[in-house]
Every structure is written in C-alpha cells, then in structure tokens.
Amino acid sequence: MILGQEQDSLGTKFSSVESFKGKMTRFNLWNRVLNQTEIYEVMTSCTEFAGNVASWPDFNKGIYGRIKVV
C-alpha cells in the first residue's frame, strides 16, 4: 500500500510533482464500513484505534524521502 504518491505503473514510476504535500496522521484501514458511533469514537478519543487491514504503525518501516515524522 502506498500513501501520498501516485504511481504510473505498478510499484514504479513515481513523480515528486505528484506526491502528497501536507500532514497525514493515524491512517487506519478496516475491511468494513465503520458505523457513526465508531467513527465518532475514533476521531474524538485518545484511545489507540487500529485498522484491522492496516494501521498507522504499519507504515513507519516504509517511510523514506524528505519526510518529517513528528
């Protein structure tokens, strides 16, 4: 899974002008649609929520380039 970059071919042909510029935090991916209560809990709680397909810590090992991790 690639975040913040558009690719022209599978796994290759990345362009810096097409890269995401901004802030991203706590990306999580579930294999189902969350209901309204779950969405509210995720966005307002200090509890660590983790997606069951991918969660924020899964991406730490693949971070490279001019990225500032805060």
Specify the number of domains making up the chain. 1
Q: What domain range is 33 assigned to?
A: 27-53
pLDDT of residue 55: 87
Question: Would you say residue 3 lies in a domain?
Answer: no
Q: Does the pLDDT at position 35 exceed 90?
A: yes
Question: Would you say residue 38 lies in a domain?
Answer: yes
Question: Would you say residue 13 lies in a domain?
Answer: no
Question: Would you say residue 63 lies in a domain?
Answer: no
Question: Would you say residue 7 lies in a domain?
Answer: no
Tokens of 67: 């990225």
Question: Would you say residue 62 lies in a domain?
Answer: no
pTM of the model: 0.62
Mean pLDDT, residues 22-51 taken together: 87
Q: To 5 degrees, how large is the angle CA 40–CA 46–CA 50?
A: 75
pLDDT of residue 61: 76
Question: Would you say residue 21 lies in a domain?
Answer: no
How far, in Å, are 14, 40, 69 from residue 49 at the CA level? 31, 12, 19
Question: Would you say residue 64 lies in a domain?
Answer: no
